[in-house]
Amino acid sequence: MNEMDRNLAAGQPAAAVAVTPTEPAKSKSVRGRTWLAIRHSPIAMVGGSIVAFWIACALFAPWIAPYPPNKPDALLLAYPYPSAAHWLGVDNLGRDILSRLIWGARTVLTVAPVAVLGAATLGIILGLLAGYRGGWIDAVIMRTGDTLLAFPRIILYLIIIARFGASAFNIILVVTVTAAPIIARIVRGVTLDVRNRDYVAAARMRGESASYIMFVEILPNARGPLIVDLFLRLGFTTVTIGALGFLGVGLPPPDPDWGGMVKETYGMIFIWPHMTLFPAAAISSLVIGFNFLATGLQEMARDG
Amino acid sequence: MLRYTAKQLLNIAVTLLAVSFLVFALNELTPIDVARKLLGPYATQDQVDILYKQMGLDRSLLARYWEYLANALSGNFGESNLYRRPVAEILWDRLGNTLVLAGICFAVIVPFSALLGVLAGMRERSFVDRAVSVFASVCASIPEFALGVFLLAIFVVGLGILPGTSPLSTSGGWPIWSQFVLPVAVVTLYDGGYLISMIRSSMVEVMRQPYIRTATLKGMPFRNVVVKHALRNALITPFTVILLQLNYLVSGLVVVEMVFAYPGFGRMMLEAALNKDIALVEAGALCAVSVTMLTQILGDLGYMALDPRIRV
Amino acid sequence: MADKLHPIIKLAGREFADGKLDRRDFLRVATLLGVAAPIAFGMAGLPIPARAQGTPKKGGIVRLGSRVHDLKSPHTYSWVEAANGARQCLDYLTYTGVDNVTRPNLVEKWEASPDLKSWTLRLRRDVTWRKDNRKFTADDVAWNLKRMLDAKTGSSVVGLFKGFILEEFETGEKDDKGVAKKSTRLWDANAIQKVDDFTIRLNGKTANLGIPEALFHYPALIMDPLENGEFKVGSNGTGAFEMVELDVGKRAKFVARKSGHWGGGANIDAFEIIDLGDDSAAQVTALVSKQVDMIYQGAIGTYATIERIPHLQINIVDTAYTAVARVHSIKPFDDKRVRQALRHATDPDAVLKLAHRGLGKPGEHHHVAPTHPEYANVGYMKQDIAKAKALLVEAGYPGGIDAEIVCRPQPDWELLAVQTMVEQWKEAGIRVKINVMPSAQYWSNWTKVPFGFTTWAHRPLGTMVLSLAYRTGGAWNEANWSNAEFDKMITEAEGYLEVDKRRAVMAKLERIMLDEGPIVVPLWRQVFNYTDKKIKGYKLHPSSYIEAKDMWIDA
């Protein structure tokens, strides 16, 4: 389904195919400059602006949305097209599309980041443990991860969501469970690479705890590839939520969900295309935003 | 290499076993009464009870799993309760349809994205590079369902030159090939967008290598540098990725299959999952996992063949 | 003529003359009791409806877009879609038409005893089985009826004959809660009696007016006993078509029988069913690109599109189809004032316009439709938010209530209706979350969820619905509703043959439902589907039954 997932479905380390890992020694010094450096990457700037726009919509939805998002209005069905009162028109229940898109940003920008953060947290812990401890812990974690990865992602989603129902929580859970093994792989790779370096050995000599070494000494080295992966993953998760909505197993109504909006109205695209096109464009733009950000960060990481 | 293959096959067997149990157990956790489902909502409770017993649903999870496993090992995957047909009959047919669609997509996507990826990557940050990169990113960012809907609006309703659904039947007057055009187009744009970026980055990496610079400095025509030196190396890294597209193409087409009513594997799995057709979900999941793992091995072997430095 | 008439027809005739029974209801009763349709139309003072538009032309193929289910076991079908396949090859004993009038089919005519307990079915003598030209006889009918009424077969026909020739008995087993399990069996060895080679008599334990209609229940297809209840490609049948191809989930093909069909055979050469999945948008695109000529049922989401496509026609029919939002009597809905508040907070007219494009009639919060003969008009309940709020306060919920409603994603209007109602309820402080369950899961739980939105199919009589769904212990009493007085009045209503007496009781029943009932009824549906304009000889049936042999193509 997504960049990382497609190649990682079979367990390829992300660093080998999509992301150039930051040189461990160098990344420490680059750390502080990353966010400022965005200004020098046009593609990251474009991506960042799109994402920022939707974040602003999500944050200020109650103040900027012109109408309540779920309020049906039978009278508006007579002329549902975009007009001065309803800039993007209304949908099949007479609900204002612009307001639904703005509130929908809130939904997707909550579910996707929470899911990705969940996956990152779980993946980082497991990856550090596997890489640093090695032995049977490594074997168990990676074996379990491989089994999950062998499952084609979308089919795993379908089975789980068809079983347990489609709620925001279940979608978050499913994304977490399926993405964590990939993130664990990235982190484990970096950990294996640096765990025998001098500064790690020094920390061990100082008598630092294992968790200190893992999180403070080792983890920052994985920052480069991780950040890129997380942005790509945000884009992917946005598409996934949309696709699940489209397949009829997405977030439950009435709260606006962009994929669900496309699903509900695409039978009408021939006469009322705006009902389908605007939400489809909204999803696409947010995904483009995340992907551009990831590409920009990747270029910057490579250029140093 | 023989040892590698043997080890991987064992690996597949263990994973399949784990997956089959996982899916079986997962199915137990939902409140769907299969006997009720078969007879419909209007059957009386006593008719449902009779069927429940007949199907042996009153036995324990392990007993039923064991029976399933024994049957599966002898090649009997049970009966689909959605289609009320032997699973094999439905599964192979739908998988076959999807493989045909995937095969065509693969044959289109690979040359298409290799061409654009290499063109873009050979002169990093040139106009062509920027244009192709943006095109690729945008394509890969538009969800398949949105892309499918846009194309339907243009070519079916607007122009009327292509059929709106792909049931793989000629009785509607549309030849079979025409029913492939839109699904293939959607997949090509979406998946191709991603592959182009992959191949482009790999090409960019290669073009930065010292030997390419040397060759250029030596006065070798740029065209020759690209064709003779860069191309092969640039395609090695994405090779695995390219192969793994097969994987995506087998399982990930569910959205496209839904949009175009294409009788494929993904749509079958969606319906089976929604209808608690456990036999079909089980067999389908095992199939999908096998395809994933086999392409992985194939990828590794191919990688070894292409790049002699790597030994597994 | 007159003295041969069943006494109830005379009664109905008097009621009709007095204006207590409308024409439609008189027609129904008269034809059920064995009066041939043309005569019944004459008695009702109606012209005999013209059967076909123009002169049918021969030839051509009609392609139907519909799910293609497995067709193996006709007697246990739980989908009309499946019956729409097999019915092309197999026949029913009777045929209830678009006008709700039951006509002869394999049964040429029937008579009921004055007490309505015994029904004599006389078969056509010119019917032959396609494969071997064998005569179709009473033995074939007896075998089929016995098979579908056997509890082990699992047919839903059982529900319609329970109490008539089927009786309940305790199997001796107990369920998890220790309640004795019950099953059904023929109440008497002679319940299905072969009188002669072409006559069958059903000897019932109790009276039943609806037997001819029940014989048209969609799984009640008459199969060749030699084929043991299994229907497949090439199966024998008395119908106008032979199934030549079946690819479950993809397509089915039926070719017209060359000769020897009792009804004169089909006009078209072949009939095909093409599976387009559950996605209604795919139906539109298939129709637009002429890959199919008609679809089984239209979705609300596609209606407006089809309206604008010149080569397509929308067929509409009035029905008693609906879906009800119903609650179990548990907190907070254990207080009847909360249930009343739910009704007052609903605006049925708006739901009808928004979720069903105005196709149908607004609901009145009791489960008796205006199309039912005994429907009593007790008034339309307008939305009254202030009253709803006041009722909630009275019930001790000044801050409003929170609940969760379970519904299905298909058909699409149901989800739209739920969304619309949820927004209306919100205004009154009834905050409801929506839980969409896949259909299969919903039907496994529909009686168990505390608050659900349930489809109710079209049924010809209001008493049938109330008895099934709201009588204490009723088979499909999804609300677990129990009211002794209500039960007594249903029985009373069922006992009256005179419609005006039934209607008087019905008015009381409806008022009880308004006062304390467990349901919100947003609307009564008109059902619709789409056909290519070139298809003639087709009318949409309220139950969406599709008969291919009558269709023809006007090229």
Q: In the predicted model, is pLDDT for residue A34 greater than 80?
A: no
- pLDDT of amino acid C352: 93
Query: Which of B14-23, B99-108, B234-243, C440-449 comes out lowest in average pLDDT?
Result: B234-243
CB C275 within 8 A of CB C249: yes
Q: Does A205 touch chain B (CB under 8 A)?
A: no
CB C339 within 8 A of CB C517: yes
DSSP assignments along C204-243, one per residue: -SS--TTHHHHTTSTT--B--GGGTT---TT---SSSEEE
Residues of A in contact with B149 (CB under 8 A): 262, 266, 269, 276, 280
- pLDDT of amino acid C3: 47
- B123 and B261 within one domain: yes
The verdict on a CB contact (< 8 Å) between B138 and A11 is no
**Chain B from 118 to 157: CB within 8 A of any A CB:** 133, 137-138, 140-146, 149-150, 152-153, 157
**Chain C from 312 to 351: CB within 8 A of any A CB:** 350
Domain CATH for B252: 1.10.3720.10
Residues of C in contact with B36 (CB under 8 A): 443-444
Instruction: Please give the tally of structural domains in chain B.
Output: 2
Min Cα distance A209 → chain B (Å) is 35
Q: Does A16 touch chain B (CB under 8 A)?
A: yes
Residues of A in contact with C301 (CB under 8 A): 92, 264-265, 267-268
The 3-state secondary structure of C113-156, one letter per residue: CCCCCEEEEEECCCCECCCCCCECCHHHHHHHHHHHHCCCCCCC
Task: Pick A107 or B230 by higher pLDDT.
Answer: A107
Min Cα distance B36 → chain A (Å) is 17
- pLDDT of amino acid B35: 66
Residue in B with minimal Cα distance to C65: B167
- B59 and B196 within one domain: no
**Chain A from 68 to 87: CB within 8 A of any B CB:** none
Q: In the predicted model, is pLDDT for residue C2 greater than 60?
A: no
Q: How many CB atoms within 10 Å of residue B100? A: 14
Query: Which of A23-32, C43-52, C163-172, C374-383 comes out lowest in average pLDDT?
Result: A23-32
Q: Which residues share a beta bridge with C531? A: C294, C313
Long-range contacts for A39-44 (Cβ within 8 Å, ≥24 apart)?
Answer: A40/A300, A41/A296, A41/A297, A41/A299, A41/A300, A42/A296, A43/A292, A43/A295, A43/A296, A43/A299, A43/B133, A44/A292, A44/A293, A44/A295, A44/A296, A44/A297, A44/A299, A44/A300
- B120 and B27 within one domain: no
CB C198 within 8 A of CB C137: yes
Residue B29 falls within a domain, yes or no? yes
DSSP assignments along B183-199, one per residue: HHHHHHHHHHHHHHHHH
The 3-state secondary structure of B262-310, one letter per residue: CCCHHHHHHHHHHCCCHHHHHHHHHHHHHHHHHHHHHHHHHHHHHCCCC
Average pLDDT over residues C176-195: 81
Task: Pick C396 or C55 by higher pLDDT.
Answer: C396
Burial of C39 (0-12, 13-18, 19+ CB in 10 A): middle
Q: With bands split at pLDDT 50, 70 and 90, how would you rate the model's confidence at C320?
A: confident
Return the H-helix or E-strand segment holding A82. none
Query: Which of B173-187, B275-289, C43-57, C102-116 comes out lowest in average pLDDT?
Result: C43-57
- pLDDT of amino acid C53: 60
- B161 and B99 within one domain: yes
Q: In the predicted model, is pLDDT for residue C1 greater than 50?
A: no
Q: How far is CA C229 from CA B68, C74, C147, C226, in A?
A: 28, 7, 8, 8
pLDDT tens for each residue of C267-284:
999 999 998 887 788 888
The verdict on a CB contact (< 8 Å) between B165 and C446 is no
**Tokens matching residue B215:** 């060759």
- B23 and B127 within one domain: no
Residue in C with minimal Cα distance to B36: C444
Q: Does A155 touch chain B (CB under 8 A)?
A: yes
Q: With bands split at pLDDT 50, 70 and 90, how would you rate the model's confidence at B45?
A: low
Query: Which of B34-48, C111-125, C198-212 comes out lowest in average pLDDT?
Result: B34-48
- pLDDT of amino acid A31: 46
Nearest-5° Cα angle at A133, A131 to A135 = 95
Q: Quote the CA–CA distance of C107 and C198 in Å, as a whole number.
A: 9
CB B44 within 8 A of CB C159: yes
CB B137 within 8 A of CB A280: no
Long-range contacts for C443-446 (Cβ within 8 Å, ≥24 apart)?
Answer: C443/B36, C443/B37, C443/B40, C443/B41, C444/B31, C444/B32, C444/B33, C444/B36, C444/B37, C445/B31, C445/C406, C446/B41, C446/C478
In single-letter form, the type of residue at position A270 comes to: F
- B61 and B145 within one domain: no
Q: With bands split at pLDDT 50, 70 and 90, how would you rate the model's confidence at B36?
A: low
Residues of A in contact with C434 (CB under 8 A): 252-254
Residue in C with minimal Cα distance to B174: C291
The verdict on a CB contact (< 8 Å) between C308 and A271 is yes
- B170 and B52 within one domain: no
Nearest-5° Cα angle at A45, A42 to A50 = 135
Residues of C in contact with A77 (CB under 8 A): 353-354
Indicate the residue among B29, B48, B73 that finishes a domain: B73
Residue B78 falls within a domain, yes or no? no
Q: Does A45 touch chain B (CB under 8 A)?
A: no
Residue B81 falls within a domain, yes or no? no
- Residue B168: left (phi > 0), alpha (psi -120 to 50), or beta? left
Residues of B in contact with A10 (CB under 8 A): 244, 247, 292-293, 295-296, 299
Q: In the predicted model, is pLDDT for residue C240 greater than 60?
A: yes
- pLDDT of amino acid C65: 93
Q: Quote the CA–CA distance of C354 and C343 in Å, as a whole number.
A: 18
Q: Quote the CA–CA distance of C88 and C256 in Å, as a whole number.
A: 9
Question: Which residues have C-beta within 8 Å of that of residue A217, sequence separation ≥ 6?
Answer: A199, A200, A203, A208
The verdict on a CB contact (< 8 Å) between C304 and A268 is yes
Q: Does B248 touch chain A (CB under 8 A)?
A: yes
The verdict on a CB contact (< 8 Å) between B42 and C156 is yes
Indicate the residue among B45, B73, B101 that finishes a domain: B73
CB A47 within 8 A of CB A289: yes
In C301-412, where do the E strands start and end? 312-318, 322-327, 360-362, 401-407
Q: Quote the CA–CA distance of B15 and B2 in Å, as a whole number.
A: 20
Strands C192-196 and C241-247: unpaired
- B52 and B103 within one domain: no
- pLDDT of amino acid C243: 96
Q: In the predicted model, is pLDDT for residue C462 greater than 90?
A: no
Residue B312 falls within a domain, yes or no? no
The verdict on a CB contact (< 8 Å) between C435 and A72 is no
**Tokens matching residue C268:** 């078209």
Q: Find the CB nearest C423 among A71, A162, A248.
A: A71
Q: With bands split at pLDDT 50, 70 and 90, how would you rate the model's confidence at A17?
A: very low
CA atoms within 13 A on the CB side of B247: 32
Q: What is the mean pLDDT of chain A?
A: 80
Q: In the predicted model, is pLDDT for residue B1 greater than 90?
A: no
Question: Which residues have C-beta within 8 Å of that of residue C141, sequence separation ≥ 6?
Answer: C93, C106, C121, C123, C200, C222
Residues of A in contact with C299 (CB under 8 A): 267
**Tokens matching residue B191:** 């998946």
- pLDDT of amino acid A3: 36
- pLDDT of amino acid A291: 85
Min Cα distance B22 → chain C (Å) is 20
pLDDT tens for each residue of A212-245:
888 888 888 887 778 878 888 888 888 888 888 8
Q: Quote the CA–CA distance of C520 and C506 in Å, as a whole number.
A: 18
Q: In the predicted model, is pLDDT for residue A123 greater than 50?
A: yes
Q: How many CB atoms within 10 Å of residue C531? A: 22
Q: In the predicted model, is pLDDT for residue C245 greater than 60?
A: yes
The verdict on a CB contact (< 8 Å) between B145 and A246 is yes
Q: Quote the CA–CA distance of B114 and C287 in Å, as a whole number.
A: 38
Q: What is the mean pLDDT of chain C?
A: 87
Residues of B in contact with A237 (CB under 8 A): none
Q: How far is CA C90 from CA A260, B269, C70, C167, C221, in A?
A: 42, 32, 15, 28, 6
Q: Quote the CA–CA distance of A171 and A241 in Å, as a whole number.
A: 8
Residues of B in contact with A154 (CB under 8 A): 251-252, 254, 266
- The backbone torsions φ and ψ at residue A30, rounded to the nearest 5 degrees and listed phi first, read -75, -25
Q: Quote the CA–CA distance of B183 and B187 in Å, as a whole number.
A: 6
Which chains does chain C touch, 3 or more C-beta pairs < 8 A? A, B
Q: In the predicted model, is pLDDT for residue B184 greater than 90?
A: yes
Q: With bands split at pLDDT 50, 70 and 90, how would you rate the model's confidence at A12?
A: very low
**Tokens matching residue A176:** 């977490």
Min Cα distance A210 → chain B (Å) is 32
Q: Find the CB nearest A7 among B143, B244, B269.
A: B244
Query: Which of A31-45, B205-219, C109-123, C176-190 comes out lowest in average pLDDT?
Result: A31-45
Q: Does A182 touch chain B (CB under 8 A)?
A: no
- B96 and B44 within one domain: no
- B141 and B59 within one domain: no
User: Which of C248, C301, C291, C231 has the alpha carbon at shortest distance from C88?
Assistant: C231
Residue in A with minimal Cα distance to B282: A159
The DSSP 8-state label assigned to residue C91 in this structure reads B
Q: How many CB atoms within 10 Å of residue C427? A: 14
- pLDDT of amino acid A32: 47
Residue with tokens 């489902």: B37
Q: What is the mean pLDDT of chain B?
A: 81
ipTM exceeding the 0.95 mark:
no
Q: Does A163 touch chain B (CB under 8 A)?
A: yes
Q: With bands split at pLDDT 50, 70 and 90, how would you rate the model's confidence at C51?
A: low
Q: Domain limits at B301?
A: 88-306
- pLDDT of amino acid B37: 61
Min Cα distance B71 → chain A (Å) is 22
Average pLDDT over residues B195-216: 82
Residue B232 falls within a domain, yes or no? yes
**Tokens matching residue C161:** 């004959």
Residue B163 falls within a domain, yes or no? yes
pLDDT tens for each residue of B46-105:
667 777 777 666 677 787 788 888 887 887 888 887 787 888 888 899 999 998 998 899
CB C131 within 8 A of CB C243: no
Which chains does chain B touch, 3 or more C-beta pairs < 8 A? A, C
pLDDT tens for each residue of C335-368:
889 999 999 999 999 999 989 989 999 999 999 9
Residue B80 falls within a domain, yes or no? no
Q: Which domains does chain C have, with CATH numbers?
A: 1-50 (no CATH), 92-220 (3.90.76.10), 241-311+533-553 (3.40.190.10), 322-526 (3.10.105.10)
Residues of C in contact with A252 (CB under 8 A): 433-436
Residues of B in contact with A304 (CB under 8 A): none
Q: Which residues share a beta bridge with C453? A: C325
Query: Which of A152-156, B184-188, C249-253 comes out lowest in average pLDDT?
Result: A152-156
Residues of C in contact with A267 (CB under 8 A): 280-281, 284, 299, 301-302, 305
pLDDT exceeding 70 applies to what percent of chain C?
A: 97
- pLDDT of amino acid A300: 75
- B109 and B33 within one domain: no
CB C243 within 8 A of CB C85: yes
CB C32 within 8 A of CB C140: no
Return the H-helix or E-strand segment holding C319. none
pLDDT tens for each residue of C195-209:
999 999 999 888 777
Residue B83 falls within a domain, yes or no? no
Q: How far is CA C6 from CA A43, A214, C124, C181, in A?
A: 86, 92, 22, 39
- B288 and B168 within one domain: yes
Residue length of chain B? 312
pLDDT tens for each residue of C382-433:
999 999 999 999 999 999 899 999 998 888 899 999 999 999 999 999 999 9
Question: Which residues have C-beta within 8 Å of that of residue B27, sequence separation ≥ 6?
Answer: A163, B276, B278, B281
